[in-house]
Amino acid sequence: MPLPDFQSLMLPLLGILSDGAERPPAVIREAAAAQFHLSEADLAILLPSGIQTMFTNRVAWALSYLKQAVLVESPRRGSYRITERGRSVLKNRPERINIEFLKQFPEFLAFRTASETAATVQPTQVAGTTLELTPDEQIRVGYSRLRESLAALLLERTKLATPRFFEQLVVDLLVRMGYGGSREDAGSVVGGSGDEGIDGIIKEDKLGLDTIYIQAKRWSKPVGRPDIQQFAGALIGQKARRGVFITTSSFTTDATNYAKGLQTTIVLIDGRQLAELMLDYGVGVSETSAVKLLKLDEDYFADE
């Protein structure tokens, strides 16, 4: 089943601690996973950082918010237990514990008021369900939306560029990706060739051990199979083993299937992937600010 969001975890976690015994986070997570019937695959889902599982992260945030509301406490490092206030809440049998519920407690309200100056956790629709995102998930969702918007703007701006500028853009991107040696070396062999469907040639590495042949099309219409066939024929004529076909548009299914069946390797890069690569390698964009996501370092407090 889908992973529960961190607010949906609050009441179950408090229930797990209802007997008053101290439990470490790992034991709490195990009990919660069983309660929600989560599979091994569910529990293995990682955050985009790849450092922590999403379920571990959400349980940690839920426990943190319960602690801010003094429904649970940490009597010692790496353990949680319910408080008298937490027992009182459970006796009233609430249907759900979430941020709005926790705002009735002055300690949580003070914490929340201070943190809301930075960001507010908002619900997000995913596959027909409403997920309450943790603060760090909210940042990642915002970044993802910003990146999608910027990629679309980047592609539209690239389509408006002159053919010569587009050739330069392709060179800049390939050099940033580690091909072509230097900008000067790469630029001297790309553009103006037009030799049987080949727009340029670039080194595969800085030593020039092999070459890659390039076809770059600043098109709006989809690239079809005949265009790939022409490029493949040009590669055969040059006894080339590798080629890259870059377009600002897209490739038809026929074109994609044909390229996959060739003995010669032809990598197809459509407009969407081109924009993503430009973002990844910093071509046509500049950095305005950087945000580091921090987490509590429990090891630092190991000897507390």
Give the tens place of pLDDT for each residue, 138-165: 777 777 877 887 888 888 889 888 888 8
DSSP 97: -
Question: What is the average pLDDT across 104-114?
Answer: 84
Phi, psi of 125 (to 5 degrees): -80, 125
- Find which of 39-43, 113-117, 125-129 is predicted with most confidence, using mean pLDDT: 39-43
Phi, psi of 18, deg, nearest 5: -65, -20
Answer yes or no: is 147 within a domain.
no
Q: Are residues 102 and 203 in the same domain?
A: no
Cβ–Cβ contacts within 10 Å for residue 107, how many? 14
Please report which confidence band the pLDDT of residue 114 belongs to, taking 50, 70 and 90 as the band edges: low
pLDDT greater at residue 233 or residue 121: 233
Give the pLDDT band of residue 301 (cuts 50, 70, 90): low
Q: How many CB atoms lie within 10 A of CB 164?
A: 10
* pLDDT over 60 at 122, yes or no: no
In a domain, 133, yes or no: no
105 exposed, middle or buried (CB, 10 Å; 0-12, 13-18, 19+)?
Answer: middle
pTM above 0.85, yes or no: no
Does position 129 have pLDDT exceeding 60, yes or no? no
The answer as to whether 227 is a domain residue is: yes
Higher-scoring residue by pLDDT: 84, 238: 84
Regarding whether 209 and 101 lie in a shared domain, the answer is: no
**pLDDT at residue 212 is higher than 60:** yes
Residue (of 38, 17, 278) closest to 172 by Cα position? 278
Residue 240 forms part of a structural domain: yes
| 173 and 273 co-located in one domain | yes
Total domains in the chain come to 2
The Cα 122–Cα 100 span in angstroms is 12
Does 304 fall in a domain?
Answer: no
Per the CB < 8 A criterion, the answer to whether 108 and 68 are in contact is: yes
pLDDT of the residue at 8: 95
- pLDDT band per the 50, 70, 90 thresholds, residue 120: very low
**CB atoms near residue 102 (< 10 Å):** 22
Q: Are 69 and 105 in contact (CB under 8 A)?
A: yes
Q: Which domain holds residue 221?
A: 162-280
Q: Read off the pLDDT of residues 214-259 as tens digits, 9 standing for 90 and up.
A: 998 989 899 999 999 999 999 988 888 889 999 999 999 999 999 9
Of the ranges 23-27, 80-84, 100-104, 201-205, which one carries the lowest mean pLDDT score?
A: 201-205
The answer as to whether 254 is a domain residue is yes
